[in-house]
Amino acid sequence: MAKSQAEKAAAFEALHKAPGVFVIPNPWDPGSARTLAGLGFKALTTTSAGYARSIGFPDYNAGREHVMAHIRAMAPMVDVPLAADLEDGFGPRPEDCAETIRQGAEAGLVGGSIEDFTGDRGDPIHSIEKAADRVRAAAEAARKLPFKFMLCARAENYLHGRADLADTIKRLQAFQDAGADVLFAPGLNTSDEVREVCRSIDRPFNIVRGPRKEALTVEQVGALGVKRISTGGMMHAVAMSAMIGAAKEMAGPGTFEFTKAMPHAGEIDALLNKGAG
């Protein structure tokens, strides 16, 4: 029997309260979501980049209408909690962020992230005050829902050439005070930076893979104080890498060596069935 949204929400909250670190990979369509669930992952979160590219757009160009349709298609396909990359809340105003949370929950989410990126590459980061107001509005919308919605607030400094650890920490602290349940600062470079962030906040911390300049295991990332590890657009990029490599082989030497590494069709179907719950 399929789990209700409230049951998925409770399971998602419990993952954040349980000891240790957990991996929350990012599928880009219902099939990849079911496959990852079938492989045993306890929660999933969407990828803005992977989804946008899968429908032929660069990152940040899919738009809220497409993203919500994407979530509505994915959420009922898996029996595990689904969160989402909700980008900049699809608008500059706090009200835009609140509306995005309401629509996301209606579409089936039990969690989602709002970032402090302005959408303007020339002036990419909102002021701390405005960013906190946006998180506060999102948190207020989340609290009105009939289940626990895990709101993640993202400080985007490092993705936009602003490797300012002190400012990033100030932002994360402002976001936790504004009501965020999870904090996220993508692009941190070193273990020392990650460790310092985790020491400076009192909410679960999310990271993509781990410190950018280090290759750590899940266990090693967790030892820094990280609660959850997402993969951003990497799962979609891995799939695209395999397809591009296969296409180049067929178009170049004209061989089919890539088929030797493919999973059997029966294995794929078995994972899809298992991922349905």
Q: Which residue has the tokens 């029966």?
A: 266
Asked whether residue 61 carries a pLDDT value surpassing 90, the answer given is no
- Average pLDDT of the residues of the chain: 96
- For residue 119, what pLDDT band results from cuts at 50, 70 and 90? confident
Angstrom distance (rounded) from CA 83 to CA 91: 19
For residue 275 the two structure tokens come to: 């991922």
pLDDT digits (tens, 9 = 90+) for 141-195: 999 999 999 999 999 999 999 999 999 999 999 999 999 999 999 999 999 999 9
Among residues 188, 190, 192, which one has the least CA distance to residue 172? Answer: 188
- Confidence (pLDDT) at 256: 96
Q: Report helix angle 165-177 to 191-200, nearest 10.
A: 30
- Confidence (pLDDT) at 171: 98
- Confidence (pLDDT) at 1: 59
- Measured over all CA atoms, what is the biggest interatomic distance in the chain, rounded to whole angstroms? 59
- Confidence (pLDDT) at 107: 98
- Confidence (pLDDT) at 121: 86
* Section 202-222 average pLDDT: 97
Q: 195-198: long-range contacts (C-beta < 8 A, 24 or more apart)?
A: 195/224, 195/225, 196/165, 196/169, 197/165, 197/168, 197/169, 197/172, 197/225, 198/224, 198/225, 198/226
Among residues 117, 115, 179, 174, which one has the least CA distance to residue 142? Answer: 179
- Confidence (pLDDT) at 59: 86
* Section 51-68 average pLDDT: 92
Angstrom distance (rounded) from CA 74 to CA 23: 19
Contact 114, 100 (CB under 8 A): yes
- For residue 60, what pLDDT band results from cuts at 50, 70 and 90? confident
Side by side, the strands of the sheet bearing 205-208 are: 22-24, 228-230, 205-208, 182-184, 150-154, 111-115, 82-85, 44-45
CA–centroid distance for 255 within its chain:
37
pLDDT digits (tens, 9 = 90+) for 230-251: 999 999 999 999 999 999 999 9
Contact 101, 151 (CB under 8 A): yes
* Section 105-131 average pLDDT: 96
- For residue 2, what pLDDT band results from cuts at 50, 70 and 90? confident
Q: How far is CA 27 from CA 84, 124, 219, in A?
A: 10, 27, 22
What domains lie within the chain, and their CATH numbers? 5-275 (3.20.20.60)
Residue 152: phi and psi, rounded to 5, are -110, 130
Q: Is 56 helix (H, G, I), strand (E, B) or coil?
A: coil
* Section 191-201 average pLDDT: 98
Asked whether residue 198 carries a pLDDT value surpassing 90, the answer given is yes
pLDDT digits (tens, 9 = 90+) for 70-99: 999 999 999 999 999 999 999 999 999 999
- Prediction pTM value: 0.94
